[in-house]
Amino acid sequence: MDKIPEQCGVLIVLSGPSGAGKSSILSQVMKQRPNLCFSVSCTTRSPRPGEEHGKAYYFLEKEDFEARIAAGEFLEHACVHGNYYGTLKSEVTNRLLQNKDVVLDIDVQGAMILKKLCAEDPLLSRCAEFVFVSPPSMEILEKRLRGRGTETEEVILRRLANAKGEIDQLEEYSYLILNDELENAVTAFLAMYDTFKLSLKRWKGAVK
């Protein structure tokens, strides 16, 4: 890894159940904070309507994904809902070293892998902030999932079961955004992000 500069970017590790509203929040936030880059993850799941390769995800075949695992290209990867998901090192570290801010929308399993890496990686230790987005209730989460109209009953029930397990790991995160109303959640995210930018751990030696 290149030498860590005196000032480096923010890495926001964002997790939450499917249907919690992470994508909707990020869509609004990134219009107002142009320095915040979205790290495009890789996945082996099929695209949803309107999703484009290279924007929502890099949609890969299972064989391609596993070859990238073997080549050590991922910062983290996990199997969730029967599909692979992973974060490419190239999507994150170079941007942080250039003092660009990055947000990762990843599952709890992947976030915990990154949290362990923070103890070993000085760049991640300085840059990473762990944020959980939660729906106000399981009932509302179920309504949102059914409202998508893109998943079978079996998939919806599996996502709801997984959501309970994810919410049980909430205390592993440092910050919570309760997405009861999108506007309120966006306001909370912006305030949180602006605070991250002021953290002294990202300004080591910058003030002389």
Rounded to an integer, the average pLDDT of 79-102 is 91
Domains and CATH numbers, the chain: 11-198 (3.40.50.300)
Two structure tokens written together for 31: 């219009």
Query: Percent of the chain having pLDDT more than 70?
Result: 97
Supply the pLDDT for residue 184: 97
pLDDT per position as a tens digit, 10-69: 999 999 998 899 999 999 999 999 989 999 999 999 998 889 999 889 999 999 999 999
Q: What is the mean pLDDT of the chain?
A: 91
Q: Which residue has the higher pLDDT, 3 or 53?
A: 53
- Residue 50's identity, in one-letter code, is G
pTM for the structure as a whole: 0.84
Q: How are beta strands 11-15 and 36-38 bridged, if at all? A: unpaired
Count how many residues are written for the chain: 208
Predicted confidence band of residue 72 (pLDDT cuts 50, 70, 90): very high
Q: With beta carbons less than 8 A apart as the criterion, state whether 162 and 82 touch.
A: no
Predicted confidence band of residue 208 (pLDDT cuts 50, 70, 90): low
Does the CA dihedral 154-57-16-27 come out positive or negative?
negative
Q: Is the pLDDT of residue 193 over 60?
A: yes
Q: With beta carbons less than 8 A apart as the criterion, state whether 128 and 118 touch.
A: yes
